[in-house]
Amino acid sequence: MAKAKHTKTNAVRLLEQQKIQFDVMEYETEDGQVDGVSVAGKIGHPASRVFKTLVAKAGTQNLFVFVIPVAEELDLKAAAKVVGEKKIEMLAVKELLGYTGYIRGGCSPVGMKKLYPTVIDASAREQGSIIVSAGKIGMQIHVQLDDLMAVTKAQLAPITTIHY
């Protein structure tokens, strides 16, 4: 699978070290359309298969990573409950690089500076494999859910807002 020449991000390096199969998908960014739903269209996959990585914190030190479908919103109450916290809030964009090594729009759940507790939305189970950022804007990785869960030590839980 991952034999083509591509940029080596921390995520790509880690997956290769772990001998996990994945595909790299690159897309154009010049048009400025780098939101998740636009990216899904550019790489030819439904938005339900493309996931975004969000980082939240409880208090001042406890960080958590949440991986949810790009068209969904994180349910902060549900997410806090899953990680055993009373309340969580999104990490400020200006703090993202320092904690994770990644920038907004290019944050991968794989290869962060530290392995933070990670929760992937339960809807991923229906997909089998999902697409997440490869660690830079313009690059995604398509990986089996079980492999992603193993490398990030993630758990599955319903953490998105329910739309009626």
pLDDT in tens, 42-79: 999 999 999 999 999 998 779 999 999 999 999 999 99
Determine the pLDDT at residue 61.
78
pLDDT at site 5: 59
63, 79 Cβ separation under 8 angstroms: no
Q: For residues 114 and 68, what is the distance between their CA atoms, to the nearest angstrom?
A: 20
The predicted structure's pLDDT at residue 3: 47
Residue 79 amino acid letter: A
Q: Tokens representing 22?
A: 């994945």
Q: How many whole angstroms separate alpha carbon 108 and alpha carbon 53?
A: 6
- At 162, is the pLDDT very low, low, confident or very high (cuts 50, 70, 90)? low
